[in-house]
Structure 1
Amino acid sequence: MNVEKLRTIDDWAAFYRHEFGLVVTERGGFVMLPITARACVIHLPTWRAEQVRAALRQQGVRVPMLARQIRWSFLATPDSRPGAQIMEVLNRLDIGIPAVGSAVMLPTGLGRWTREGCHWIEPPERGTPLPPLSTIVTAALAVGSDRPD
């Protein structure tokens, strides 16, 4: 598909389905990725997300990532939901994992400036499975809790 010719939300939804294999919906004039048993996201503060990205790269793990002003969202496969104690630690670290039934807005553009206020740091790749959520959670916990100066 030629990205230059994508004009409508339906065009972008079809693009995400065809090019990236994502099961997306249109809601309220936006392309949304529903959080399901097959796809989820983990939101991290930007400074921590950069460290997690570097740690995952060292392990050879590729993760699709969306950037917003102060947070990045990593796309994953929900292999298991963290237990209550881990969720408590994640919350203290300002790391969020939205529940099944929620959704994340995807950009209608591949450049840095989109009307949704987000852009792809690493877009998904067709045929490449999303990494397990547990891998990203483990990396996020391993980078520590100290914010760099």
Structure 2
Amino acid sequence: MLNADKLRTVQDWVSYYRHETGLPVAERGGFVMLPVTGHVAVVHLPVARAEKVRTALHQHRRTGPMLARQIRWSFLAEPDSRPGVQIMEALNRLDVGIPAVGSAVMLPTGLGRWTREGCHWVVPPTRELQLPPLSVIVTTALAVGSGSED
């Protein structure tokens, strides 16, 4: 097992993510990038909605890796199905984004709260932590927004 405190270079972090978490990351432009593929999807949510989704997923024991940025969180997911046009329109109205296959998400080169990438893990990835299905995150993101506060 690699000791995260000893990781210094981007290449060290690429090795860490690949070997310790199983994520198919690559170095691109001096950053650790996670490509969106047929095996790994990402859902970007505004912070307030993301916190509600996290709570709901936790209650159903479906928590997966979550990355926090200043104005949004990114949930890693297993792409079990792609939302249809109507669902995507509803998500867009809620400022929820699902990057297309072929795009990529920058991962932090640190496990603390302050990294040079301006993001940190709310729930870090591990080999044991399974990615929740994309459909579950999407359904939950739509459901938590139906309260009176929206």
Distance in 2 separating the partners of 1:65 and 1:127: 15
Q: Which amino acid aligns with 2:138?
A: V
Shift of 1:127: 3.3
Q: Which amino acid aligns with 1:95?
A: V
CA offsets per residue over residues 50-90 of structure 1, 9 Å max, x none? Answer: 00011111111111100000100000011111000000000
* DSSP-derived class of the 2:96 partner: coil
Aligned to 1:36: 37
Aligned to 2:135: 134
Shift of 1:4: 1.4
TM norm structure 2: 0.95
The 5 A counterparts of 1:9-28 are 9-28=10-29
Shift of 1:147: 8.1
Q: Which amino acid aligns with 2:91?
A: L
Aligned to 1:72: 73
1:102 to 2:98 alignment? no
TM norm structure 1: 0.96
Alpha carbons of structure 1 residues 9 and 147: separation in structure 2 relative to 1, 3 Å: farther
Whether the aligned pair in 1 keeps the contact of 2:64 and 2:130 (CA below 8 Å) is: no
Distance in 1 separating the partners of 2:40 and 2:94: 22
Whether the aligned pair in 2 keeps the contact of 1:21 and 1:127 (CA below 8 Å) is: no
Distance in 2 separating the partners of 1:147 and 1:126: 38
Shift of 1:128: 3.0
Q: Which amino acid aligns with 1:56?
A: L
Query: What are the ranges of 5 or more consecutive residues in structure 2 without an aligned counterpart?
Result: none
* DSSP-derived class of the 2:98 partner: coil
Identity %: 72
Shift of 1:94: 0.3
Count of paired positions: 149
Query: What are the ranges of 5 or more consecutive residues in structure 1 without an aligned counterpart?
Result: none
* DSSP-derived class of the 1:124 partner: coil
Aligned to 1:111: 112
Aligned to 1:55: 56
Stretches of 4+ aligned residues off by more than 4 angstroms: 145-149
Shift of 1:5: 1.2
Aligned to 2:84: 83
* DSSP-derived class of the 1:61 partner: coil
CA offsets per residue over residues 95-121 of structure 1, 9 Å max, x none? Answer: 000000000000000000000000000
